[in-house]
Amino acid sequence: MRGNVNKSVARVVLAAAVAATLGTATACEDSKDDKPAGRGSQKPAATETHKTLGKAELEQAVLAKADVKAKGYAIKEMTKAELAEGDAAKSDKAVCQPAVALMGSKYSPEPADSVYRTLGKGDLKTKESFSGMLRVSSYAAGGAEKTIADLKKAVEGCKGGFTATDGSGEKQKFTAVTAQPAAKLGDEALAFDMSGDGLKFSVKAVRSGAHVTVLLGFNMLDPMKSQVPQELVTAQVAKLEKAIAKNAG
């Protein structure tokens, strides 16, 4: 199914970020909050009290244009229609479902609240490109921990690949899931790639107390060189944990 790239969130991400990748980043709309992310990362009190951020607070805690513009990224809020297109993605192997679900918009455990953004950056001459989806979610007690634990099991149990089916019935075969080094952020973090059929998706996820940050990345100019810029993950976790600490105070 190469070229179609999956009709779930992967397609939505590419459509939303294509302007940035083609060098027209200014065409993207500003996100709701243009306050820059804090540089420091305070340890969230949520790890002890389970006080979580609601929808409005997550909107303030997610990366905004002012946080990424200087580094050349465009950022845009995902619309309800785009999220609805993502729908549910399913795996042919139960252990792989948590990883496959990242390419859709339905997860288990289900977050209490989530906010989504698409990000893009690209250079046609060098073929350096990043198109990605950012999700920041809050969970009921134990949900964030289980989300990361299930993803770790998926990475370990799906090394030989799996077949994903999106909400429209389109199939995508992945031949390998490969663990990658993860930066020491939040309470726990992981990184991995899912590759097959001439393309690769890269994922980085971080748990901060009862909250999870997930960035899924794709290189539309050179699909096998996809990656998630660590600077985006670091900035998002710092901004989120600052909001968590403020909320717990």
Give the whole-angstrom CA distance, residue 10 versus residue 13.
Answer: 5
Would you list the DSSP string of 108-167? SSPPSEEEEEEEEEEETTTTEEEEEEEEEEE-STTHHHHHHHHHHHHHHHTTT-EEEE-T
Q: Residue 100 falls within a domain, yes or no? A: yes
Range of the domain at 189: 9-248
138, part of any domain: yes
Given a cut of 80, whether residue 6 has pLDDT beyond it is no
User: How buried is residue 188: exposed, middle or buried, by Cβ count under 10 Å (0-12/13-18/19+)?
Assistant: middle
The residue type found at 35 is K
Its pTM stands at: 0.83
Arithmetic mean of pLDDT, 86-106 = 86
Radius of gyration of the chain (CA): 17
The token pair at 141 is: 């007690």
Mean pLDDT of 209-237: 92
For residue 238, the domain's CATH number is: 3.40.1000.70
Q: What is the pLDDT of residues 148-189, one digit of tens each?
A: 999 999 999 999 999 988 777 788 899 999 999 999 999 999
Report the mean per-residue pLDDT for the chain.
81
Strand ranges across the sheet with 90-91: 90-91, 162-165, 171-174
- Is 2 among the domain residues? no
Look at residue 4 and tell me if it is in a domain: no
pLDDT surpassing 90 at residue 24:
no
- Sign of the C-alpha dihedral computed for residues 144, 223, 93 and 163 taken in this order: positive
Which pLDDT score, from 0 to 100, does residue 70 have?
Answer: 79
Counting the structural domains of the chain, the total is 1
Task: Give residue 4's pLDDT.
Answer: 47
- Per-residue pLDDT at 216 exceeds 70: yes
Pick from 58-62, 85-89, 214-218: least confident:
85-89
